[in-house]
C-alpha cells in the first residue's frame, strides 16, 4: 500500500497541470454547490422566520370549520369568548393575541389619491395592546404611528402605500359585510406605514383596531383567530398539545394549527424551487464527473504499457485499481479542499452582506418571504457532505476507466504505443 500511495502521489505531482485543471473543475462545482446551498438554507431560514413573525405566528387557534373556508374569510365561523382564552394562555406564560380577518373593498378618493377608485383588500383587525407581543411589527413603522384602540385608524404596508400613492393622514373607506350579512362602510384614516422584511405583508397589509371592527361588524365577543408566539426552537407539536389541554373547554369548536401546516403551500412551493436548484447543481456535478472520468481515461491510456509491466511483474489487478483510485481520490481531495475553502470564503460575504434581490422581489412574487437581501447561512453538515462528496465522486467516476484498464491482456498492454 505504501508503494501505491507513493506512486499515486508522484504521478499527481508529476502531471501537475492536468491534476490542477481537473481539480479546478471539481473545485468550481463544489464551490457553486456550497454557495447555492448556503443561499437556499439562508433564504429558507429567513423566510420561515419572517413567515412566523409577520404572517402565521407559531401556532394559531381557529374555529374548527374556519380553515376549510379560510379563502372566504367568513365572520360567522369564529371563536367565542376569545378574551378569556387569551387570558388563560397568558396566565400559562404564552404570548397570545386575537385577530379578526375580513375582506373588503377599499375606496380611494380623488382628493387624496389624485384619482378615485377602489380595490379588493384583506383587512386584519388587531388588538393594539397585544399584537406587537406576538408579531414583530414594533420596529417596522417607517412613517406615522400604530392605530389607537377604538379609533378609525389604519396602518398600511409600505409597498401597497407606494402602489396607490397613500400617505399618512389620507382617508379611505372600507366597504364590507358584517357578521349577519349587512353592509357596512367604515371611514379610516391612515396613521402609519410599515415596512417589514416580509414582502407579502408589505404588499397587502391593512391593520385596524379590533374593538372598532367589532362594533362595525357585530363581532362582539368573537375573533377569527388567536395567534400565539413560541420560541424559534420550540417543538410545535408538543406545544400544540399543551395549548389544547389549556383551552380544553373550547375543544369541540376549535382547531389548533402549527405554522408549518398553515404554510404548507409555501413550503411545497419552496421545496419545488429548491429541487429545481438541486437539479441544476447536479448538472454542474455531472460536468465535473465527466471531467474526472475523461482525465482518468487519458491517464490510463498514457500509462497502459506501465500497467502491462506492473501486471507482468506480478502486481494484482486489485492493487492496480487501488493505484488509479488513489490518484482519482487525490484529484478529488485537492478539488474538494480548494472548492470548500473558496466556498467558505465566499460564504463569509454571503452571510455578512448577502445579495440584494430587492428589484426582483418588488416586482415578482417568488414565494420567498424575504424583501430584498438574500443572505447565506452556515450549514456545517452541508459543507462536510460536499467535501466528502467531491472525493467520493472522483473515486466513483474513475472506477469504470480503471476497471477497463485491467481488462486488456498483458501482451497488448506491453505492445501499446
Partner 1 sequence: MIRIQDVVRNYHAGETVVKALKGVSLEITDGEFLSIAGPSGSGKTTLLNLIGCIDALDGGEIVIDETPVSKMDKKAKTEFRRNNLGFVFQTYNLIPVLTAYENVSFVLSILNVPEKEIEERTMGILKEVGLQGMEHRRPDRLSGGQQQRIAIARALVKNPKIVLADEPTANLDSKTGEEILKLMQSMNEKYHTTFIFSTHDSMVMDYARRLVSLHDGQVIDDQRR
Q: How far is the CB of 15 from partner 1 (least distance, A)?
A: 9
Binding site for partner 1 (CB under 8 A): 2-3, 6-7, 10-11, 13-14, 305-306, 308-309, 311-317, 319, 409-411, 414
Kindly provide the residue ranges of all beta strands, DSSP E only, lying in 33-94, ordered along the sequence.
59-63, 79-80
Nearer to partner 1, 9 or 384 (CB): 9
Nearest-angstrom CA–CA distance, 227 and 209? 16
Instruction: Answer for the pair 141, 196: CB distance below 8 angstroms, yes or no.
Output: no
The bridge status of strand 222-223 relative to strand 171-177 is unpaired
**Dihedral-angle region of residue 181 (phi above 0 means left; psi in -120 to 50 means alpha; beta otherwise):** left
Nearest-angstrom CA–CA distance, 254 and 240? 12
The bridge status of strand 183-194 relative to strand 153-157 is parallel
The pair phi, psi for residue 323, each rounded to 5°, is -55, -50
Could you tell me where the DSSP H helices lie in 119-235? 131-134, 158-164, 199-204, 210-217
Could you tell me where the DSSP H helices lie in 303-379? 304-312, 317-352, 358-363
Find, among 174, 50, 55, the residue nearest to 126 by Cα: 55
Rg (CA), the chain: 31
The pair phi, psi for residue 108, each rounded to 5°, is -105, 140
Q: How far is the CB of 306 from partner 1 (least distance, A)?
A: 6
Q: How far is the CB of 321 from partner 1 (least distance, A)?
A: 14
Nearer to partner 1, 23 or 124 (CB): 23
Nearer to partner 1, 223 or 320 (CB): 320
Find, among 52, 62, 91, the residue nearest to 223 by Cα: 62
Nearest-angstrom CA–CA distance, 340 and 337? 5
Q: How far is the CB of 284 from partner 1 (least distance, A)?
A: 32
Nearer to partner 1, 304 or 377 (CB): 304
Nearer to partner 1, 143 or 319 (CB): 319
Nearer to partner 1, 5 or 384 (CB): 5
Q: How far is the CB of 296 from partner 1 (least distance, A)?
A: 17
Nearer to partner 1, 10 or 145 (CB): 10
Q: How far is the CB of 43 from partner 1 (least distance, A)?
A: 48
Nearer to partner 1, 1 or 233 (CB): 1
Amino acid at each position: 500500500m505504501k508503494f501505491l500511495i507513493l506512486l499515486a502521489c508522484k504521478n499527481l505531482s508529476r502531471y501537475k497541470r492536468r491534476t490542477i485543471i481537473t481539480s479546478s473543475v471539481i473545485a468550481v462545482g463544489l464551490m457553486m454547490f456550497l454557495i447555492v446551498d448556503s443561499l437556499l438554507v439562508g433564504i429558507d431560514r429567513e423566510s420561515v422566520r419572517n413567515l412566523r413573525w409577520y404572517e402565521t405566528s407559531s401556532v394559531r387557534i381557529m374555529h374548527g370549520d374556519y380553515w376549510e373556508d379560510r379563502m372566504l374569510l367568513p365572520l360567522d365561523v369564529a371563536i367565542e369568548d376569545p378574551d378569556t382564552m387569551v387570558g388563560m394562555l397568558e396566565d400559562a406564560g404564552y404570548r397570545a393575541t386575537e385577530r379578526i380577518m375580513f375582506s373588503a373593498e377599499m375606496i380611494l378618493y380623488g382628493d387624496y389619491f389624485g384619482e378615485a377608485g377602489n380595490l379588493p383588500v384583506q383587512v386584519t383587525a388587531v388588538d393594539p395592546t397585544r399584537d406587537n407581543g406576538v408579531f414583530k411589527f414594533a420596529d417596522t413603522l417607517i412613517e406615522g404611528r400604530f392605530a389607537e384602540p377604538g379609533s378609525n385608524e389604519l396602518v398600511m404596508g409600505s409597498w401597497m402605500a407606494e402602489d396607490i400613492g397613500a400617505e399618512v393622514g389620507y382617508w379611505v373607506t372600507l366597504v364590507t359585510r358584517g357578521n349577519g350579512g349587512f353592509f357596512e362602510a367604515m371611514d379610516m384614516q391612515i396613521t402609519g406605514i410599515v415596512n417589514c422584511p416580509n414582502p407579502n405583508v408589505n404588499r397587502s397589509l391593512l391593520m385596524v383596531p379590533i374593538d372598532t371592527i367589532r362594533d362595525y361588524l357585530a363581532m362582539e365577543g368573537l375573533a377569527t383567530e388567536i395567534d400565539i408566539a413560541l420560541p424559534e426552537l420550540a417543538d410545535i407539536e408538543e406545544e400544540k398539545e399543551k395549548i389544547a389541554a389549556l383551552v380544553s373547554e373550547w375543544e369541540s369548536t376549535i382547531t389548533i394549527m402549527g405554522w408549518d401546516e398553515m404554510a404548507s403551500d409555501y413550503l411545497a412551493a419552496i421545496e419545488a424551487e429548491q429541487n429545481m436548484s438541486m437539479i441544476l447543481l447536479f448538472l454542474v456535478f455531472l460536468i465535473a464527473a465527466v471531467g474526472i472520468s475523461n482525465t482518468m481515461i487519458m491517464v490510463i491510456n498514457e500509462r497502459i504499457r506501465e500497467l502491462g509491466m506492473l501486471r507482468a511483474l506480478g502486481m494484482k489487478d486489485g492493487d492496480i485499481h487501488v493505484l488509479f483510485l488513489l490518484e482519482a481520490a487525490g484529484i478529488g481531495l485537492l478539488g474538494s479542499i480548494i472548492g470548500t475553502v473558496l466556498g467558505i470564503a465566499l460564504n463569509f460575504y454571503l452571510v455578512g452582506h448577502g445579495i440584494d434581490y430587492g428589484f426582483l422581489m418588488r416586482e415578482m412574487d417568488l414565494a420567498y418571504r424575504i424583501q430584498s437581501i438574500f443572505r447565506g447561512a452556515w450549514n456545517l453538515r452541508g459543507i462536510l457532505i460536499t467535501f466528502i462528496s467531491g472525493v467520493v465522486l472522483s473515486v466513483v467516476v474513475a472506477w469504470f476507466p480503471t476497471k477497463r484498464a485491467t481488462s486488456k491482456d498483458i501482451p497488448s498492454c506491453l505492445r501499446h504505443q
